[in-house]
Amino acid sequence: MNEAASSAAALRVEVHLPLPQFQLRCSFQARPEVVVLFGPSGAGKTSVLDCIAGFRKPASGHILLGERVLFSSGQGVNLPVRQRRVGYLSQQPALFPHLSVRSNVGYGLLDLPRSERDARVDSILERFRIAPLAASRPPAISGGEQQRVALARTLVCEPELLLLDEPLSALDVTLKSLLLDAIFDWQRERAVPMLYVTHDQAEAYSLSRRVLVMESGSVVADGEPHQVFTAPFRREQAVLSGYENLFDAVIQETHPVLGTMTCRLAGSGLLLESPLANKAVGETASLALRAGDILVATTRPSGISARNLLSGRIHLIEDRDGMVAMSVLCPAGDDPAGHAPAGEGQTDFRVHITRGALQNLDLQIGQPVWLIIKTHSIQFLRN
Amino acid sequence: MTSPLLLSLQLALVTASLLLVLGLPLAWWLAFTRFRLRFLIESLVALPIVLPPTVLGFYLLLALGSRGSLGAFWARLTGHTLAFSFEGLVLGSVIYSLPFAVQPFTAALASVDRRVLAASASLGASSWRTFWRITFPLAVPGIVTGFALSFAHTLGEFGVVLMLGGNIPGHTQTASIAIFDNVQMLDYPAAARQSITLLAISFLLLVVINGLNRKRNWRLQ
C-alpha cells in the first residue's frame, strides 16, 4: 500500500461560526468513506467545507483529521490552508490559466525532485485520459476537460481528505458519470474520507450509503439515503424532499395492537390513521404525506386494505410537465374507519396523478372524489 | 554634461524601477488587506494626482533642503543636500508618480481570480510561491502598464522638478524644463526638436505596452 492509504484517517468536525443568516453549528464524524452533505442552498454546506479546508476560521470548535489537529479553538491551532493536505474541488475548475495542463497538474508537487514529479504527473494524466492535452493551456480546452485537469491536479497531491462542492453540476450526464467513477475508484484505493456536497436528491441517492442533511447551519439528519429521505425530520427538509402535504395534528387514540394511531388534523378535525409513533394521546404532531402517494377514485372503493378513505371535491387541476397536480378539499365527517365525526372546516390535500389517469377518470374541477391513503405513507416530522 | 533628454530618460527609468520595487508590495497590501482604514492609505497614494505639482514641490523643497529634517540627515550622510540634486529629483518623482504605478498594480493584483489563489494554497503553496508563480504572472499586464505610466509621467514632469531641481543644466535640467527655457528664450526650433522627441517616445511607449498586453490577453482567453 502507498503512504497515503496507511495514514488515511477519520475526520472529526465540530464547528461553530455565526453567519449573517444563521449560526453554523455543525458536528459530525466521517470514517474513510463517502459522505454526502445534502441540503438546500444556503444551508451552510459550503461554509462547512470552507472551515475544513481552512478558507474560513470557525469561531470555536475543532477539526481533526486522524491525529492531526487542523483547527482547535481550545488549543489555539489554526493550520494554514497549505499545510492541511485537504483536496478541494468545486464547480469552478479554477485552473491556472497561464500554465500548461502539465504544469497545472504538477503544481502541488513542486517540492519533489523533477523525475519523481514527472512520473506522478504522467501517470495521473494517463489515468484521467488527459495526456494528449498536456501542452495545452486551460483556456483552450473544454469545460469537462478543465474539470478533469482540476481533479487530477487535486488528486496527484495525495490529499488525506477530499472535499467536493457540487464539482460536476456544470457537466453533462455522460461526462459526469465518467468522472464520478474516476473519483470513486480513487477514493476506494486511497481509503480517505470524502465529503460530497449536493442539493440534488437523486445524486445523493446514487453517490453514497451515508447522507448528512444540513439545514440552517446544522446537521439535522444522518443516515442511509432511504432513511433520511423517507423519514423527514424537519418541515423544510420534508418540503425539499417532495412532501407536498404537511399537517399539524393531535393524537386522538393509539392502537398499539394494530400498530396504528388516530390523528385529528388541526383546522378541519379530519381523522387519519397513521403508523404508531412514540407519542401519547393529546400530544401534537406534524404529519407529512407525498402528493404522489395518494390514490384517487371516482366512486367509493370497497374491499380495500388502505385505512384512510376520504371524500372530497376537486378544487384545482394544474397540468405540470409530465404530471397533473390537483388540490382536493376534504371536509371532516365522512369517516369510513368508524371514528366519530368532529371538527369543522376542510383540509386541502395536494394530489399528483398522471395525465393518463386524469383522462381515464375524466376528472373535472368541482367533481366529488375519494382519496385513498395508506397508513404507512404518513410520516411524522420531528418538531 | 548630460543632455536634458538623456537626463529625463535616466530619471524616468530610475523612478519607474524604484516604483516597481516599492510600489508592488504596497499594491499587494492594498489589494489583499482587510484593514478597514485602507481607504485612507489609498487616498494618500492618490494625492499626487490632484495636488498641483508646485505644492508638492514646495513641501519637498522644505523637507529636502539643508534645514529640513530629511535634507539635514542626507547632508550628514553624503555631504551634499538633496535639493538641487539628481537624488532629490528621484525622490520627488517617486512620490509624484506613485499613483501612476500603484493604482494599476493594485487593480491588476485585485483582479486575479481569488478561487485560483485559493486553489494554489490548497495545493500546498506558500504565499510567496503563490505570488511569484500565480498572482504576479497573471497581473503582469497591469504591472507593465503601471511601469510604463510612471515612466511616461516622470518623463513629462515639470512643476516638481522645477521647484526641487532648480534647473541646473547637466544636473537637474530635464527635457520638459529645457523646452520651457527654449520657449522663454524664443528658440522655437530647439523647443520643437525636444518636443517632438518627447512626443515620439511617449507615443511609442504606449503603443508597445498596449500591443503587448493585447497579445497576452488574447492568449489567456
Residue contact B121–A88, C-beta within 8 A = no
pTM: 0.71
Q: Which residue has the higher pLDDT, B84 or B100?
A: B100
Cα distance between residue A269 and residue A139, in whole Å: 64
Strand-pairing partners, residue A346, are A331
Give residue A232's pLDDT: 57
- Residue A257: burial class (beta carbons within 10 Å; 0-12, 13-18, 19+): exposed
Mean pLDDT of A204-219: 86
Mean pLDDT of A249-266: 88
Cα distance between residue A9 and residue B42, in whole Å: 47
Residue contact B116–A97, C-beta within 8 A = yes
User: A173 CA to chain B: closest CA distance, Å?
Assistant: 25
Mean pLDDT of A193-216: 86
Residue contact A110–B119, C-beta within 8 A = no
Per-residue pLDDT tens digits for A358-378: 888 999 999 999 999 988 888
pLDDT band at B220 (very low <50, low <70, confident <90, very high): low
Residue contact B123–A153, C-beta within 8 A = yes
The closest CB to that of A139, out of B113, B118, B220, belongs to: B220
- Is the Cβ of A84 closer than 8 Å to some Cβ of chain B? yes
Domains detected in chain A:
3-236 (3.40.50.300), 242-381 (2.40.50.100)
Residue contact A88–B125, C-beta within 8 A = no
Domains detected in chain B:
4-220 (1.10.3720.10)
Cα distance between residue B130 and residue B97, in whole Å: 28
Per-residue pLDDT tens digits for A93-146: 999 999 999 999 999 999 999 999 999 999 999 988 899 999 999 999 998 899
* Cβ-count burial A171-189 (b if 16+ within 10 Å, e if not): beeebbebbbebbeebbee
Least CA distance to B217: which residue of chain A?
A: A98
CA angle (A38, A108, A79) in 5-degree steps:
65
Mean pLDDT of A48-53: 96
The closest CB to that of B121, out of A81, A87, A153, belongs to: A81
The closest CB to that of A82, out of B113, B124, B134, belongs to: B124
pLDDT band at B80 (very low <50, low <70, confident <90, very high): confident
Residue contact A55–B118, C-beta within 8 A = yes
Mean pLDDT of A17-25: 91
Residue contact A94–B113, C-beta within 8 A = yes
Contact between A244 and A291 under an 8 Å Cβ cutoff? The reply is yes
CA angle (A373, A374, A376) in 5-degree steps:
130
Per-residue pLDDT tens digits for B131-166: 999 999 999 999 999 999 999 999 988 888 888 877
Contact between A372 and A301 under an 8 Å Cβ cutoff? The reply is yes
Side-chain half-sphere exposure of A254, counting CA atoms within 13 A: 10
Q: How does DSSP classify residue B131? A: I
Least CA distance to B138: which residue of chain A?
A: A98
